[in-house]
Amino acid sequence: MKMNKLLWIVLLTGFLVVIGIYGYNNWFAKASGNEISIAKDSADALKVDIDFGVGNLYVKGGSPEWVSGEFTYNHKRLEPKVTYKKKKDTGHVKIKQGSKTTFGLNKRKVDNEWDLQLTNVIPIDLNVDMGVSKSRLKLEGLQLNSLSVDGGVGESVIDLSGAWSKGFRADFNLGVGDVTIILPKQTGVRVNVSKGLGRLELNDFIKQNEGVYINEAYEDAEVIIDLFLDIGVGDVKFKIAE
């Protein structure tokens, strides 16, 4: 009798442990929200790395701090990790999804959304890995030193419209999906294309050399944006902002 009781206790304990390890996200996790706020300090520039996995990603300027915004997710494994370190005069921001694997998650019920704001006050080197997502990067107003975007799978809009006081280099490594890149009308833009199986729509651009295209403003522009585009499988459309 005691042996049977002990056996049941062992089995029940084991069952609860298994649920705790493997089942928490699927059965017990509730949608939760977290705010992010990285306060201004004496940094003269920022390096911002955003490493997203799956869901909806929104990035824009106008933050009252170095970085602010909100995370909403319904699985503990999706909880983002945020770090900030100041090295010399540069602040290093890293925002990374807790786990980029969705093994064990019910993908139809994954709810993961990041809504991030970056400062307009100091120069930024911005690196974004968009993962499997629906993304919108509205970067007007930021002081970009450089931009690097790794597009995974999904639909994305990269909005570079607006008035830019200085030029910068942007590297886009685009995977599978539809991408729309919005560019300013008055700023000079040069696009360097390395094309895979995807389709490229470059209306209103002039071919300068093989794989190199410029907009109408390029020849007389004092500010130049240099885009280096590596297209995988998918459609990439360039639009000129009005």
Confidence (pLDDT) at 109: 74
In degrees rounded to 5, what are phi and psi of residue 115? -125, 100
Reference 60, options 144, 151, 174; nearest CA is 144
β-pairing verdict for 67-73 and 32-38: antiparallel
Nearest Cα neighbor of 93 from 55, 73, 119 is 119
The better pLDDT of the pair 156, 100 is held by 156
Question: Regarding predicted confidence, which is higher, 186 or 143?
Answer: 143
Does the pLDDT of residue 140 top 60, yes or no?
Answer: yes
pTM: 0.83
Lowest mean pLDDT among 7-21, 49-63, 119-133: 7-21
Closest by alpha carbon to 175, among 96, 230, 97?
230
Bridge partners for 136 per DSSP: 58, 157
Write the pLDDT tens digit of every residue in 165-195. Answer: 999 999 999 888 899 999 998 899 999 998 7
Amino acid at 14: G
